[in-house]
Chain A
Amino acid sequence: MRGEAERDYVEYVTARLPHLKRAAYLLCGDSARADDIVQATVTKLYVHWRRASAAENLDGYVHRMLVRQFLDERSLKWSRVVLTDAPPDRATDPAPDRVEDADAVRSLLRRLPPGQRAVLVLRFLCDMSIDDTAVVLRCSAGSVKAQTSRGLESLREFMGTTKTATERG
């Protein structure tokens, strides 16, 4: 890939990097690992740019690549452990403040099984439909619905406390 196509690629990736990092980070909870996932994703995207850039929904296409990358890593032995660089003092503090919100959200997300975590990130951060989410996670639409519902249950408590903190602050 050269010339104009490569310029398009660079422009797209540069603009979307923060979002891709956010999605990867919320999926895996570890900044370095999220960078690796994004790095691998954008490398693959380079190779497949012609097909990707012709897709109706380029963001959707890239999100699917990113999630596949994340899920592929889970086949590793160590990924049975939920990795995080969350410091050990803020796990599920009742009133996360702005500075430490990242830890609180990450800490909460990491307690969700990877499937639930992926469903929440795909549906609510990447705006994927239930059907698209099912395709990328290779499961049924019913399973996506169930995992969404269970994941939300856990998040609800947290969101309540976040609201409290915001109101206080």
Chain B
Amino acid sequence: MSVDDAARVKELLLTAPVPPARVDLDRAITDGRRRERGRRLIWTAGSATLVALIVTGGVAGVDQLRTVPAGKPVAPPASVATSTSPSAPPSPSASATADACTVADLPGLTGLMPTIVDPTGTYVVVDQVVEAGDAWQAVLVTGGQRTTLPLPAGTTNQQTYGINASGWMVGMASNGPSDRVAFELKNGKATKLPKLPGYQHSKASAINAAGDIVGAAWNDGANVPVLWPASAPGTVKRLGSGAGAAMAIGDDGTIAGTAGDGEAPWIWDTQGNGHALATPPGVVQGKVFAIRGDWAVGWAGTNATGDVGLARWNLRTGAVDTFGGMAGPSRMVNARGDLVVGLSGGSDNTVIRDGSPLVLGTGPYNGGKASAIWISDDGRTVIGSVSSFEGGQTAIHAVTWRC
């Protein structure tokens, strides 16, 4: 290892953006005092049972399916059109409506955090790779059954990015850092997708109902957007002539993503004809991450300053909505335009339904943190996870909210 290497690793670790700490110092002191008392008691009584009582004190782990009343959707502030002046972001603590969500454990996912879900909610993928010998593989859960996903031949690592209603998945597999290849996983078989001639690496980001797949190809420098059309299996084509990446494809073939790397939110047809999507006043940069029906979501803002606002585009009207300047991005939208806002700047995930944030309760996992990743097309079902602190440890519970 060279001195230069060490300096660069250090710089990387010191400068990587990290969400702000959410640590409760008052609680640490209260708990610390209690433990101090506990230590004194133990010292006096010499009893090990006190340790369990005092130190553990948490909730027992729970695996079983359960349903209890949980979060409530809350009232507006509703979505704000881009032309209006910035207003306060929607507040999750706004007044509640009469509706309530219930939360239930998602069978087959004990301890796992779901990452992508197909449009029907049938297939749930856990992209947090599981170590299996030397390989790292993703996990699929459907009907409560867990399956470790196969790797394409000759690869040792995979990341799954997209899934359609048939359960066909796409992503990127790798065999060491110098070989990354887009793959599709269909009917239990993982296959590498053809590489764009002249490009060493590729990844597939999304797949639509027909099986059209989009993604990006690259060498050392910039991405170029690509399409693997379902109508011509075994072929790949570049979209347009500029740099960029295709991140999403609708069932009607509308492709969305970015020009450059966040230079502008972009849209293409399957022939590769593209144009920028509208951006809010004073802003030109952005990226689309997801598309469904008439809706696309992502971020719009200024990449260099990290000012990345939530953006939702209506593909029919071309209008962009910034939800009053709420922090973005969003990485999932349903057919009604309801969306899930990502973990930006350390904030929790938020679901926006009918233009208003939906507060997701944590049900039996009292004091846990709710994190949504998906909302159904009818806006009634949300999938995600709750992380809770139980018995001195963090536990992850994959859950469904019905609202």
Contact = CB atoms under 8 A, between A and B. Distances in A.
Interface residues of B, number: 81
A47 B127 contact: no
Nearest to B115: A88
Contact of A98 (B5, B304, B394): B304
Interface in A87-101: 87-89, 91-95, 97-99, 101
A46 B28 contact: yes
A154 to B, nearest CB: 7
Given A36-B389, A89-B247, A105-B12, A18 B20 contact: yes
A106 B129 contact: no
A21 B201 CA distance: 34
Nearest to A23: B13
B172 A125 contact: no
B376 interface: no
A117 to B, nearest CB: 11
A158 B22 CA distance: 29
A47 B9 contact: no
Which of A80, A95, A152, A156 has the most chain B CB within a 10 Å cutoff? A95
B396 A78 contact: yes
Interface stretch (B85-93, B94-102, B220-228): B220-228
A59 to B, nearest CB: 14
Nearest to B4: A159
Contacts of B19: 21, 25, 31, 102
A35 B174 CA distance: 31
A152 B1 contact: yes
B157 interface: yes
Contact of A157 (B32, B130, B177): B177
A162 B12 contact: yes
A26 B36 contact: no
A77 B111 contact: yes
Contact of B394 (A25, A32, A121, A168): A32
A93 B337 CA distance: 27
Contact of A88 (B131, B160, B371): B160
Given A39-B23, A81-B130, A164-B221, A88 B113 contact: no
Given A81-B128, A106-B16, A42 B25 contact: yes
B324 to A, nearest CB: 20
B220 A164 contact: yes
B36 A91 contact: no
B306 A98 contact: yes
Contacts of B126: 81
Contacts, number: 211
Interface string A31-54: 111011111101111110000000
A47 B31 CA distance: 9
A168 B248 CA distance: 25
Contacts of A9: 29
B21 interface: yes
Interface string B200-224: 0101010000000000001011110
B18 A21 contact: yes
A12 to B, nearest CB: 11
A94 B201 contact: yes
B37 to A, nearest CB: 10
Given A36-B394, A169-B304, A21 B20 contact: yes
Given A77-B111, A125-B10, A6 B29 contact: yes
Contact of B369 (A32, A78, A162): A32
Nearest to B302: A99
A35 B220 contact: no
7 contacts: A13-B25, A13-B28, A32-B387, A47-B39, A83-B128, A89-B289, A98-B304
Interface of A: 1, 6, 9-10, 13-14, 17-18, 20-22, 25-26, 30-33, 35-40, 42-47, 73, 76-78, 80-85, 87-89, 91-95, 97-99, 101-102, 105-106, 110-111, 113, 120-121, 124-125, 148-149, 152, 154-162, 164-165, 168-169
